[in-house]
Amino acid sequence: MAEQVGYSQKVMEHFMNPHNVGVIEDADGYGKVGNPVCGDIMEIFIKVKDDRIEDIKFRTFGCGSAIATSSMVTDMARGKTLDEAMTITRNDVATELDGLPPRKMHCSNLAADALHEAIKDYRSRQGA
């Protein structure tokens, strides 16, 4: 078991049973970010319909916090318009998880960044 660093119950739930895990083969948008210091890598795949995130999946290589934040950001973004999803911040993700230990906050930043990268990728494919 991972060392205890003060994870909330919600973080543990999303780590043990993450939501939206996987790959969307014909994704409309794809975002990948990494943190060279800790080695975490996050990928987010989105399907967009009528300017809304219709489907979203993630694949993450990293610690429990990285998995939990990826799971939470996909839950938060599903069904939102692209503009709404672009406003999701690291603090929003951490707050929805009932907080993260300070040394794990960078994970929530990666999750939000990967989402934003997927949206930017979608928009560039659309010529926006």
Q: Which residues are annotated as catalytic?
A: 38, 107
Strand order in the sheet with 52-61: 29-34, 41-49, 52-61
Question: 73 with 88: CB under 8 angstroms?
Answer: yes
* 3-state secondary structure at position 54: strand
